[in-house]
Amino acid sequence: MGQLNPFCFILRKYSIESSLQVLKKENEVYNNIVKTSVLGRKFAEFSPNLHVSVLKEGEFIVLRIMDLRYFFKNDFLNQATLTLDKDMNVLSSIMHPYSLKKSIAVNP
């Protein structure tokens, strides 16, 4: 029978807690970018319930903003996409009303 090392559990707990702190700070940065962008402000005018998902695609960061009020055919009706560079500058802002196939460019 193996021995139980309580120090191992403490290290794991510390590692998980520190990882969660990093994610929380990262999410705050992304949420602030959404709130201060032209697209984020426009989107928030008509949607009080937003969700922001973060995708890293190569050297770009894609923030997908979803209006959580309307879900139809396995997707949210109103969405928006912010594309950021590695320095967190907005490269593109796109509204997707009713479908991701529909795109309306918004000046960043």
43 burial class (0-12, 13-18, 19+ CB within 10 angstroms)? buried
Share of the chain above pLDDT 70, in %: 75
Domain-embedded: residue 79: yes
Domain-embedded: residue 1: no
Mean pLDDT of 58-79: 87
Quote the CA–CA distance of 20 and 38 in Å, as a whole number: 29
Confidence of residue 2 (pLDDT cuts 50, 70, 90): low
Query: Per the structure, how many domains does the chain have?
Result: 1
Domain encompassing residue 92: 6-105
Domain-embedded: residue 75: yes
* More confident site: 104 or 75: 104
For the entire predicted model, the pTM comes to 0.71
Is the pLDDT at 73 greater than 70? The verdict is yes
- The DSSP call for residue 4 is P
Helices (H), the chain: 6-36, 38-46
